[in-house]
Amino acid sequence: EAGVAQSPRYKIIEKRQSVAFWCNPISGHATLYWYQQILGQGPKLLIQFQNNGVVDDSQLPKDRFSAERLKGVDSTLKIQPAKLEDSAVYLCASSLYLTRQGVTEAFFGQGTRLTVV
């Protein structure tokens, strides 16, 4: 089966510019996650969707970051305006389900490496 697809793989922008990342999860996966991984650190959850509803966005800097999940499938993450500290790898992941009946593991995309200069 096809894995989680992300684009672009790399992006370099100047501070105060805007940028968008795209993610296509594994077909049929209800749960989609966006993580930020700063060099040398573990992935930090930014936002978690269940179908097209937001489950958790408590660590999303909402003054500059936004995310949506179109029709419960693809998702985009946007940063506007970008700051130097946003330089990181942005990981998208999906899992089949995450419910009170049980959970399944997350499958990760290759990530988008963002450099803000």
Question: For binding to other proteins (CB under 8 A), which residues are involved?
Answer: 33, 35, 41-45, 48, 50, 55-56, 91, 93, 98-100, 102-103, 105-111
116, 83 contact by CB (below 8 A): yes
Q: How far is the CB of 5 from other proteins (least distance, A)?
A: 11
Helix, strand, coil % (nearest 5) of the chain?
5, 50, 45
- Using the minimum distance from each CB to other proteins, give the nearer residue, 103 or 117: 103
The DSSP line for 21-67 is EEEE--TT--EEEEEEE-TTS--EEEEEEETTEEEE-TTS-TTTEEE
3-state secondary structure of 96: coil
Q: How far is the CB of 108 from other proteins (least distance, A)?
A: 4
- Using the minimum distance from each CB to other proteins, give the nearer residue, 81 or 87: 87
Q: How far is the CB of 47 from other proteins (least distance, A)?
A: 11
- Using the minimum distance from each CB to other proteins, give the nearer residue, 55 or 117: 55
